[in-house]
Structures are given as structure tokens and as C-alpha cells.
Structure 1
């Protein structure tokens, strides 16, 4: 299994598909675009879809911690779509570190997650 990330951005809505492990290079490749979205819209709505996701490399975890510490308040909604028990647990952990509304979805509910994340959070 290869480490891959695909990021799609439509206005303030970011959809991330991750496979394998997230690395520092992946964060470095995509952070400029995410920063532009935050600057333009003030916040992000993120759908994070995990398929065969194994977590983070050590340097990738550090980049994720830095992103959360800097932009945790810039995320208004976070939909986590995963296939393993610990993926569901990520939603609970994320609730402790962000002011975003966080919700977990099973892989078969990807379209439901897309509808939820696209809904007006107000």
C-alpha cells in the first residue's frame, strides 16, 4: 500500500482522501492551498476520508500537531470517514483539540458525510 493523499478544494470545503501514512511532505505540499482558503474564507470545512489509512509518520504527526495548534480554531466542521474502530475514535480525540463540530461516518455513508459537511453550519 502506497502513502497517498488527494486533496480537493471547493471554496471553503476541503475533501481529503488518505491512504497509508501521512508524511511531512504531504503537509508541505498542501498547506499553502489550505492557508489561502483560510485567508479567503476565514475557516474550513473538512471531510477526511480514510481508506487503508495507517496513521502518520513521525514527521507527519508533528506537522499535524503544528497544523492543529495553529488552525484548530479555523475549522468549522470536520467529517471523519473511516473503516476501523480507531478511525471512529479519532472523532472523539479531535473534539478535544478543536472548536469544530466533528462527526464520524462509516465508509458506506460517504455521501451522507458529504451532505452533512456541505450543510450550512449556522
Structure 2
């Protein structure tokens, strides 16, 4: 199950339990909408409560990342899991975005907001 929230230039997703293909499709739909109407967006993935993901989610994530390689500025990943930290690092190979892993949500949001504020001021 996922919970999503979004602002003008950011999409936040929190995953609870198993991350399924239906959940990922919901995420994709929201991100595609934001990109279409707002341009480049930032992402915040909260994976601290994720129990796992299905193989079809992994495949869909690879396809989605390749299709949207230039559509993200920054991606913040909230996790304490070393495997997910490594996975976030590998995902940088498919996207132009800067990817950082955090264990504190406030720090992750501050990083995304600081960048957005600095870019808006330029």
C-alpha cells in the first residue's frame, strides 16, 4: 500500500508493507501528470515501512526510470536498509537526478526544499 502527496514541484510516496505493481502504477500516474503539467519534479520516497517489493515492480521501475531519465531534479530516499541504500545508488545510473539517502524525513524534505528555493531565486 502507498500513500502519496504532492506539491507543485514534488511528489512524495510512502510505502507500507509490500510494494506491488498496482501501487507502482498509481505512483507512475501521479508523476506523469506532474511532469506533464509542472515539468521537472523532485521525488521523496519513504521506504522505512516497506516490507518488500514484487519482481514486476523492480522491472517497471527500470523501465520508468529509463523513460524519465531527464524529468527529475532530486530524489530523496528515506530508508535505514543497506540494500535499499545500494539500490538508490544504482538508480543514479538511469537518471540525471541527484539521489540521496536519508534516515530523517525532516532532513530529506529540507534538502529538497532548499534546492527548489535556490533554483526559484535564480
Instruction: Name the SS of the counterpart of 2:80 in structure 1.
Output: coil
TM value normalised by structure 2: 0.85
Partner residue in 2 for 1:81 = 78
TM value normalised by structure 1: 0.85
Q: Contact conserved, 1:23 with 1:61, CA < 8 A, in 2? A: no
Match for residue 111 of structure 1 among 100, 103, 106: 106
Q: Contact conserved, 2:13 with 2:27, CA < 8 A, in 1? A: no
Structure 2 unaligned blocks of 5 or more = none
Q: How far did 1:43 drift?
A: 1.1
Match for residue 16 of structure 1 among 13, 17, 23: 13
How much is the aligned-residue C-alpha RMSD, in angstroms?
Answer: 1.6
Q: Contact conserved, 2:76 with 2:108, CA < 8 A, in 1? A: yes
1:93 correspondence with 2:90:
yes
Instruction: Name the SS of the counterpart of 2:49 in structure 1.
Output: strand
**Would you say how many aligned residue pairs link Structure 1 and Structure 2?**
117
Structure 1 unaligned blocks of 5 or more = none
